Chain A
C-alpha cells in the first residue's frame, strides 16, 4: 500500500547549525507534500508545503525540495534555534486517495543551545 518513509527518527544539532530531514513516498500519484511541526502537547502545525509542479520552495529559514523522479522530498532548516525543537512529520497526499495524508513516522529534532 501507500507509505512514506522518514529519516532520521531523531536528530540533535547545535544551535546555529542546519538540520535536514528526508522522506520517500511510494505513490507516484502523490502531488502535495506538507510538513508539520508538533511541539510538545500542541497540535501539528503546517510549516511549509510543496506541490509536485515545483522543485523547491523556501520560507525564511525553512526550505523543502522535491525530486519527483526519485520520489524523495526533504526539509531543510538553517540557522537552527532552540524553538525549532519539536517533532516534524512529512506527508504525501494524492487526489486518487481523497487527499488524505500518508504520514512519515516523525523526526524528533533537538536543538542544543
Chain B
C-alpha cells in the first residue's frame, strides 16, 4: 500500500511570497491532519479534516494559512504571504475513520525555508 506522500520535499521562498504544500493521504483514509515542526521544538497540530470538512483548525497560526481538501482526497496548505517564522517542516498524516482510527500514518514532510 502506498504511504502518505507530500510535495514538494523542500521549498525555499522569500518573505512575502506564496507557497502551496500538497499532501496525498493513504487511499481510503478519511482523516487528514496537518502538523508543523519548527526547529528543535515539538511537532504541533495545525488542523484536521474529515473527508472535505474541517473538523478542527484550532492550531492554524493565523489567516495567512489556508488549507483545503476539495473532494476529500488530497489536501493543500497555502501560506500567503510567507513570513520568516513560517519556516519549519510541515507534516501531513492520515488515518482511517473506523477501526484503528487512532493510528496516524505520517508523510515525509515538506521542509519550508523562508528567507
Chain B interface category by residue count = 20 to 34
Contacts of B3 in A (CB 8 A): 43
Q: Which of A4, A32, A43, A51 makes the CB contact (< 8 A) with B42?
A: A4
Taking a contact as CB atoms under 8 Å apart, the answer to whether B48 and A106 are in contact is: no
Contacts of B35 in A (CB 8 A): 101, 103
- How many contacts between A and B, using CB within 8 angstroms? 60
In the complex, whether B106 has a CB less than 8 A from a CB of chain A is yes
Contacts of A104 in B (CB 8 A): 42
Taking a contact as CB atoms under 8 Å apart, the answer to whether B56 and A98 are in contact is: yes
Stretch at the interface among B12-20, B68-76, B97-105: B97-105
In the complex, whether B27 has a CB less than 8 A from a CB of chain A is no
Taking a contact as CB atoms under 8 Å apart, the answer to whether B44 and A46 are in contact is: no
Main secondary structure of the interface of A (DSSP, over half): strand
Q: Which of B22-42 contact A (CB under 8 A)?
A: 31, 33, 35, 40-42
Taking a contact as CB atoms under 8 Å apart, the answer to whether B108 and A100 are in contact is: no
What are 5 of the A-B contact pairs (CB < 8 Å)?
A: A51-B102, A91-B43, A99-B48, A100-B56, A102-B45
Question: Chain B residues in contact with chain A, CB under 8 A?
Answer: 3-4, 31, 33, 35, 40-45, 48, 55-56, 59, 91, 93, 95, 101-109
Question: Chain A residues in contact with chain B, CB under 8 A?
Answer: 4, 6, 32, 34, 36, 42-46, 49, 51, 89, 91, 93, 97-106
